[in-house]
Amino acid sequence: MALRIPTTIFLLGALALFACSGDDDDVVVIRDGGTSVRDAGEEARDGGVVDAGEVERDGGVERDAGTRDGGVELDAGGCGPLETMCGDDCVDVFADDAHCGDCGQACTGGAVCLSGVCGPPPATNVAAVPARTIVPGCTTAGTSSSKLAVDPSNRIFVGMVCSDMPYVVRSDDLGATFAAPEEITIPSLERFEIHAAAPDVLYLVGRTEGAALVFSKSTDGGATWSSPRVVDAGPVSLAMISAGPNVRSWRNHVYLFVTNGGGTELRVWRNDALGDGAFSLTAIPFTMPFGGGLDLDTANGDVWVFVDTFGRAEAYRSTDNGASFTRAQTLMGIAVANQYAVAPGNQAYTRCGTPVGSVCTARVDLSGGAVQPLTLAPELFAASPFGLGLAARADGGAYLGARRIETTNSGFVVAEFGPTDTAATDLRIVTTSTTVDLGGGVDLSVIAGTTGVATVFTSSVGVAASVEVF
């Protein structure tokens, strides 16, 4: 079946409908059950939710007594909450070169332990790469809010649609060159997103034309993928602008986000076994979300869900690996905020349009502080907010990308914000010889350990990319 590219033609008619919505409870009512993970062709049993009387063992796998993530009690060996007892030592198997992923699994040949997988040390010799077409004839318009992923070794991956099929293309040299695109053999996806969890480990979430949510995993950098598994039999919604599907991970935890087809709840599917085995559902009641998404605080593993109701947004927080959520903050004046980026230390950046037709971004203190608008250069940015991209840095700063104001739409601007800046401290004007496609949008991703940021966008020729160095 042909892949349908989402559009925003219906935006104006939907604004009034979504102006007053949401749920008034501060503590979220949870529907939390296990789900069997099946091949896409299998029929879902009872909507995919296990009866309340059934017992789920941490995502369908029995965990080692010495491994705990996010807990508060020490294990029998006296190790901390993110440590495992290996022999007589407490180690972090997600960062220990001698015990990578499990006790006794040592990294060799110069490899280091990154997110529990042995891989090359992160490349840091980043250099600016001018914008150019990397895959002609393809588009990023069939992807979700994240079109670009960088793994812990700083390999760059781009998701795209070519001839109505999903593809991924990779760069092993910090964006200087890209390999030929690899087809992802999951047909009939209406929208999908990839996430780089560990060296060469990618997760994919997508919505099928049958309105189901499917998940797949690659352990070889996108060359091959596991059989797509139905996580939510649906129907799941794409909402009005962008409300998933999203996929994120922290250590062994994998999170999928989507809204239900009736527009009455936000759904977070979670797995504690690196995407293997069962997923469990946490549902957040919310009436008719306009846009939203999920992101993680990589410093502590907190899970954040943001949802926009046009005119305000709500932020929900989970401190127990997604098992429950509490409304943490109401963000007034945030409109069309269909993407958020969480920086370590309970700080987030939003991309938004206030009012519709203008460009804005803001820094949000998620501990309950104020929303700080950030000053942009209006003479450089296009009026529409839908061509924006946003990426948070480990130091609390961020990068914002948006189309330039030009009749030819021949480029875009990347602005840098420091952790406490109220205005952009540096700008990069990215020029192209072709027209930037608004529907494909602009996406950014930080190259860890460097001052570089990778960009990807769709032009009139195909998928294009650059690397900007600040």
Residue 458: its pLDDT value, please? Answer: 85
Taking 80 as the threshold, does the pLDDT of residue 74 lie above it? no
Q: Beta 229-232 vs 236-237: how paired, if at all?
A: unpaired
CA distance linking residue 441 with residue 402, whole number of Å: 8
Residue 48: what are its φ and ψ, rounded to 5°?
85, 5
Helix (H), strand (E) at residue 431: strand 426-431
pLDDT digits (tens, 9 = 90+) for 277-296: 999 999 999 877 777 789 99
For residue 95, pLDDT beyond 80:
yes
pLDDT at 201 over 50: yes
C-alpha 160/C-alpha 236 separation (Å) is 21
Q: Is the pLDDT of residue 274 over 50?
A: yes
Domains with residue ranges and CATH for the chain? 11-39+123-369 (2.120.10), 93-122 (no CATH)
Q: In what order do the strands lie in the sheet containing 347-352? A: 339-343, 347-352, 360-365, 371-374
Strand 411-417, strand 398-403: pairing: antiparallel
Which of these ranges, 28-37, 73-82, 212-221, 319-328, has the smallest mean pLDDT?
28-37
pLDDT at 78 over 50: yes
User: Measuring CA to CA, which residue among 249, 259, 225 is closest to residue 40?
Assistant: 225
Residue 355 has pLDDT above 90, yes or no: no
Which residue type sits at 360? C
365-408, pLDDT tens digit by residue?
888 777 888 877 666 665 554 557 889 999 999 998 876 665 55
pLDDT at 88 over 80: yes
What's the rounded Cα separation, in Å, for the pair 321 and 258? Answer: 17
Average pLDDT, the chain: 78
Residue pLDDT, tens place only, 134-152? 999 998 877 776 789 999 9
* Residue 118 pLDDT greater than 80, yes or no: yes
Q: What is the DSSP letter of 12?
A: H
CA angle 173, 179, 180 (to 5 degrees): 170
468 or 24, greater pLDDT: 468
More confident residue, 34 or 162: 162
Would you report the helix, strand and coil content of the chain in percent, each value rounded to 5?
A: 0, 45, 55
Task: Look at residue 163 in the predicted model and tell me its pLDDT.
Answer: 87
Considering only residues 413 and 87, tell me which one the structure prediction assigns the higher pLDDT.
87
Residue percentage of the chain with pLDDT more than 90: 46
Say what the pLDDT of residue 181 is. Answer: 95
pLDDT by residue (tens digit) across 435-457? 766 556 788 999 999 999 999 98
> What's the mean pLDDT in 325-345?
78
Candidates 121, 115, 100; CA nearest to 301 is 115
Coil vs helix vs strand at 245: coil
Q: What is the mean pLDDT of residues 93-107?
A: 97
Q: Is 259:289 a contact under the CB 8 Å cutoff?
A: yes
Indicate if the pLDDT at residue 107 is higher than 80.
Answer: yes
- CA-nearest of 159, 183, 325 to 257 is 325
| Residue 162 CB neighbours (<10 A) | 19
Output the pLDDT for position 50: 30
Burial 170-200 (b: 16+ CB within 10 A, else e): bbbebbeebeebbebebebbbbbbbbbbbbb
Residue 235 preceded by cis peptide, ω within 30? yes
Please, which pLDDT band fits residue 242 given cuts at 50, 70 and 90?
low
Least confident of 13-22, 28-37, 251-260, 456-465: 13-22
- Determine the residue type at 244: G
pLDDT (0 to 100) of residue 454? 96
Interatomic CA distance for residues 257 and 265, integer angstroms: 11
Q: Is 46 left (phi over 0), alpha (psi -120 to 50) or beta?
A: left
What per-residue confidence (pLDDT) applies to 1? 38
pLDDT value, residue 330: 83
- Residue 177 confidence (pLDDT) above 70: yes
Most confident of 169-183, 239-253, 290-304: 169-183
Question: What confidence tier does 357 reach under pLDDT thresholds 50, 70, 90?
Answer: very low
Strand boundaries in 77-219, DSSP class E = 84-86, 89-91, 112-114, 117-119, 129-136, 148-150, 156-162, 165-171, 182-183, 189-198, 201-208, 213-218
Strands across the sheet containing 462-469: 129-136, 462-469, 452-458, 442-446
- Structure confidence at residue 191 (pLDDT): 84
Has residue 63 got a pLDDT over 70? Answer: no
Continuous segment of H or E residues that includes residue 42: none
**What's residue 338's pLDDT?**
59
